[in-house]
Amino acid sequence: MSTTLGRRSFLGLAGVGLAGSALGAGIWRSRQDGPIRLGSGRHTYEWVPNWAQLPEGMSFGNTHGCIVTDAGNRLLVNTDTENAVMLFDSGGKLLKTWGKDYAGGAHGMAVVAEGQQEFLYLAHIGRHELIKATPDGEVIWTLGYPRESGLYENADRYHPTSVAVAPNGDIFVADGYGLGWVHQFDAGRKYRRSFGGPGTEPGKMRTPHGLWLDTRGKEPLLAVADRENHRLQFFDLDGKLHGLLDHDLRRPCHVHQRGGDVVVADLAGRVSIFDEKNQLVTHLGDNPDEGKRAQNGVPREQWKDGEFISPHCAHWDRGGDLYVMDWLAQGRVSKLRRVA
């Protein structure tokens, strides 16, 4: 049975988790041949078929990145093609694309308001760097590997997968596909510290894949999707471990928050929602075929509405609708319209 260190628990205060629960995992129709509904209670959603409206001849290509929204509720979606960032409205209309120079590795994103303007922070696994740009594609600066950490022989060992920005402007970058550290820089891009590093014990990481600034408590915490340790870890903004969520997760890739709830994209075939106490609310779209979970090459004819395959990112928009990116070679981004 899993042991859980809750969201607001201090280390050493253990409680029993809900491992193995399938709460709300079912797929059902609101009426015969009607829309597919997922979830339960206040997290009930309708699957929106064929949400993304791409021009004739265009496809997503490999979807191996993230989804974020800007102040205008535009959705920014990564792909591995020369359309590294694709902007949609909530109805699925493609508004623009950019990023030809960033094809093949645009992976993690964060939209941050700075004064009266918003900026996009983009972690790129292939270029070994962090990019700051406007949401419409004007590049402001790039930040390379953390040479000052002394952990890297060269930039080729550094493959950043995610980024989060603190209220004071500090920048956190997860080297999820590299050496397994989280690196912290100040607002001026000066290196501050590194924490984590490879291992299985609390505070160590195996593929720190996703970051999110968790503001549900009195003080913000950095949530880390520690994918291959099958858990989320929560750190204060000085890099000290605060607690764990280590139940009801398989291979968590990414975290997003709305109010007191967080949604976790789980690469192994489902999306999960947890409440402010980090207790499971519901699973969404759990794939019953274990052979398809966390697989990139599942052909389109085997995809089913209402079932995920390899959820890589999940993100709520301002109205509470949920968007999910599956890690699939042919590209898949799905919309779940919130109905409760």
User: Could you write out the DSSP letters of every residue in 91-114?
Assistant: TSBEEEEE-GGGTTTEEEEEEEEE
Counting Cα atoms < 13 Å in the Cβ hemisphere of 310 gives 20
Q: Report residue 26's pLDDT band, with 50, 70 and 90 as the boundaries.
A: low
Tell whether the model's pLDDT for residue 338 goes beyond 50. Answer: yes
Q: What is the pLDDT of residue 4?
A: 41
Q: What is the pLDDT of residue 33?
A: 72
The C-alpha angle 241, 242, 244, rounded to 5 degrees, equals 95
Q: What is the pLDDT of residue 185?
A: 98
Contact 217, 7 (CB under 8 A): yes
Contact 321, 32 (CB under 8 A): no
Share of the chain above pLDDT 90, in %: 90
| Average pLDDT of the residues in 321-331 | 98
- Secondary structure percentages of the chain, helix, strand, coil, to 5: 5, 45, 50
CATH superfamily of 3-338: TolB, C-terminal domain (2.120.10.30)
Question: What one-character DSSP code corresponds to residue 302?
Answer: G
Tell whether the model's pLDDT for residue 5 goes beyond 70. Answer: no
Q: What is the pLDDT of residue 154?
A: 96
Contact 264, 271 (CB under 8 A): yes
Rounded to whole angstroms, the Cα distance separating 327 from 46 reads: 21
Give every CB contact of residue 259 below 8 A, 6+ residues apart in sequence.
none
Give every CB contact of residue 256 below 8 A, 6+ residues apart in sequence.
212, 262, 263, 314, 315, 316
Nearest Cα to Cα of residue 67 among 329, 320, 317:
317
Please give the order of strands across the beta sheet that includes 270-274.
252-258, 261-266, 270-274, 280-284
Q: What is the pLDDT of residue 30?
A: 55
What pLDDT digit, counting tens, does each position of 255-264 carry?
999 999 999 9
Residue type, 144: G
What's the mean pLDDT when you consider all of the chain? 92
Q: Report residue 3's pLDDT band, with 50, 70 and 90 as the boundaries.
A: very low
Tell whether the model's pLDDT for residue 7 goes beyond 60. Answer: no
Give every CB contact of residue 235 below 8 A, 6+ residues apart in sequence.
182, 195, 221, 222, 224, 241, 242
Q: What is the pLDDT of residue 340?
A: 82
Show the tokens assigned to 295.
């697989």
What pLDDT digit, counting tens, does each position of 269-290 carry?
999 999 999 999 999 999 999 9
| Average pLDDT of the residues in 181-202 | 98
What pLDDT digit, counting tens, does each position of 174-185 carry?
999 999 999 999
